Amino acid sequence: EKSIVTPHIAMLPSPGMGHLTPFAELAKRLISIHGFTVTFITLSSSQSPTQTDFLSSLPPSISSRSLPAVSLSDAPSNARIETILSLEASRSVPAVTSILKDLKTKTNLVAFIADLFCCDLFEAARSVGLPCYMFFPSNCLFLSLMLHLPTLDATTTCEYRDLPGPLELPGCIPIPGPDLLHPLQDRSNDCYRWMVHHGSRYHEADAILVNSFEAIEPNAVRILRQHRPPVHAVGPMIRDKSTDRFDKSGCFDWLDKQPAGSVLYISFGSGGALTKEQMVELALGLERSKQRFLWMVRSPLGEEVVGTNYLNEESQNDPFPFLPLEFVERTKEVGMLVPSWAPQVSILGHQSTGGFMTHCGWNSTVESLINGVPMITWPLYAEQHQNAIMLVDGIGAALRLKERDDCLVDREEIARVVRELMEGSEGRRVRGKAKELQEVAAVTVKEGGQSYEALVKVANKLKLERHVGVD
């Protein structure tokens, strides 16, 4: 029977663990603190084993409906991941409309919340009279760029890497053109058009939620709050360590034996991989640093484009043959290698973990900050280069690695920066900053904290929405 008391929300995250996880956390908070129930609608690319496992581990108060696959056979074979996800979303309008209609008959459906690549589905929600919200799973810097993009597109003609100076978005750290969002770096690619399209659609939302918080982006958060549609910073939202899957690698037995704060954790996220040459250099750099490390090691890139692992998180290939000869044997006293997929949140929360070499995916970044772990930035694609600049020059909780002119980060540089982070004086500064932010992050999501209260405001608005909708 249709519940007239419990307000219900339909959420539609883009495929990929980096999108599903903050959505699940948002859903859990709206359920436990604010009394909503939630249906997750997922696109068919969310059916990789890691994502399916994650979806089936969600609490029963979150129902799940998966959409049928849509044909993408007309997309070019080298289409970028952002193009694929956007196409999939835009072609799912009829299927989403019929799910929303059905939910309306069975629940007190008050709103639809989609994310960065799924705003075309606002059409489905509007057609059944639902308010449309967006949850942006990254930071204010990236969101500001997307909101500004239609103007930037209309007022410039050059590639962004050739812009005369860094791009200064309101309240944000300036970003040099070459470090702007990866999909914007080639105006002739479909992917660029999609980004401009999404940027213009964001303005149609009734409100936007963003997974950031005032302590790390103070000016941007304040400026965006006045934006129309209003932007509410409700982060940091990260998944709970209970969602880390059972650990087959034995890494916790190993971590338990290491001194507090002594281990550098290394991971490049669900889609990241290095070239063969770079992987060897990283291994030799770690060895040279003489620091302890726990490396989520992946097979190197072949000829494919960066980010192609994105929907196949657990790479199937065996990465060990790509490591330098006898590397494993030589480093067995200080190093632990975890192939394919690591229980990251638990690793970052372990007392032996003292640093994180990261690709700067936003979830990884936030998971690190919440645990007070300082970072070394190794951005690869998406918005990761912008995030790295923000972490090093803005927030001050990370150190950067310098590339050579041929783009390789060599072993000397890796050893130097790893030692600096774990033991040096610059390292002390970023370690201190990470610890300071850990405390602030814990406070902001508790009752009375800025992010908590921002979500209260949104929840109250959502509850009022139930009196409006049209049938």
Q: Which of 24, 207, 342, 391 binds ligand UDP (CB under 6 A)?
A: 342
In angstroms, the CA 142 to CA 327 distance is 39
Q: What SS3 class is residue 110?
A: strand
115 is an active site residue: yes
Site for ligand UDP in 232-251 (CB under 6 A): 239
Return the half-sphere exposure (C-beta side, CA atoms, 13 A cut-off) of residue 172.
23
Concatenated DSSP letters of 95-109: HHHHHHHHHHHHSEE
Q: Which of 84, 210, 345, 370 binds ligand UDP (CB under 6 A)?
A: 345
- Dihedral (CA of 138, 181, 151, 175) sign: positive
Q: Is 270 a residue that touches ligand UDP (CB under 6 A)?
A: yes
Q: Which of 8, 34, 115, 256 is catalytic?
A: 115
Q: Is 14 a residue that touches ligand UDP (CB under 6 A)?
A: no
Comparing CB distances to ligand UDP, the nearer of 352 and 384 is: 384
Comparing CB distances to ligand UDP, the nearer of 382 and 459 is: 382
Q: How far is the CB of 342 from ligand UDP (least distance, A)?
A: 4
**In degrees, to the nearest 5, what angle opens at C-alpha 448 toward C-alphas 446 and 452?**
55
Hey, how many other C-beta atoms are within 10 angstroms of the C-beta on 302?
10
Is the Cβ–Cβ distance between 224 and 209 less than 8 Å?
no
Residues in contact with 370: Cβ distance below 8 Å, sequence separation at least 6, in sequence order: 236, 238, 348, 438, 441, 442
Comparing CB distances to ligand UDP, the nearer of 24 and 109 is: 24
19 is an active site residue: yes
Q: How far is the CB of 172 from ligand UDP (least distance, A)?
A: 19
Q: Which of 7, 13, 15, 18 binds ligand UDP (CB under 6 A)?
A: 18
Comparing CB distances to ligand UDP, the nearer of 110 and 216 is: 216
Q: Is 344 a residue that touches ligand UDP (CB under 6 A)?
A: yes
Q: How far is the CB of 462 from ligand UDP (least distance, A)?
A: 25
Q: State in Å, rounded, how far the first CA of the chain is from the last one.
A: 18
Comparing CB distances to ligand UDP, the nearer of 29 and 239 is: 239
Q: What are phi and psi of 326, to 5 degrees?
A: 65, 15
Question: CA–CA distance from 313 to each of 119, 127, 163, 333 (Å)?
Answer: 25, 35, 35, 28
Q: Which of 13, 131, 199, 271 binds ligand UDP (CB under 6 A)?
A: 271
Residues in contact with 78: Cβ distance below 8 Å, sequence separation at least 6, in sequence order: 305
Is the Cβ–Cβ distance between 340 and 315 less than 8 Å?
yes
Comparing CB distances to ligand UDP, the nearer of 15 and 131 is: 15
Region from 82-90, 325-333, 339-347, 404-412 binding ligand UDP, contact rule CB under 6 A: 339-347
Comparing CB distances to ligand UDP, the nearer of 150 and 354 is: 354
In angstroms, the CA 13 to CA 27 distance is 11
Find, among 196, 197, 187, 194, the residue nearest to 158 by Cα. 187
List the x/- string, 353-392, binding to ligand UDP by CB under 6 A. Answer: --------xxxx--x-------------------------
Q: Is 13 a residue that touches ligand UDP (CB under 6 A)?
A: no
Q: Is 319 a residue that touches ligand UDP (CB under 6 A)?
A: no
Region from 32-40, 267-275, 316-324, 418-426 binding ligand UDP, contact rule CB under 6 A: 267-275
List the x/- string, 148-187, binding to ligand UDP by CB under 6 A. Answer: ----------------------------------------
Site for ligand UDP in 19-78 (CB under 6 A): 21
Q: Largest Cα–Cα distance of the chain, in whole Å?
A: 68
Q: What SS3 class is residue 355?
A: strand
Please identify every residue annotated as catalytic.
19, 115
Binding site for ligand UDP (CB under 6 A): 16-18, 21, 239, 267, 269-271, 296, 341-342, 344-345, 361-364, 367
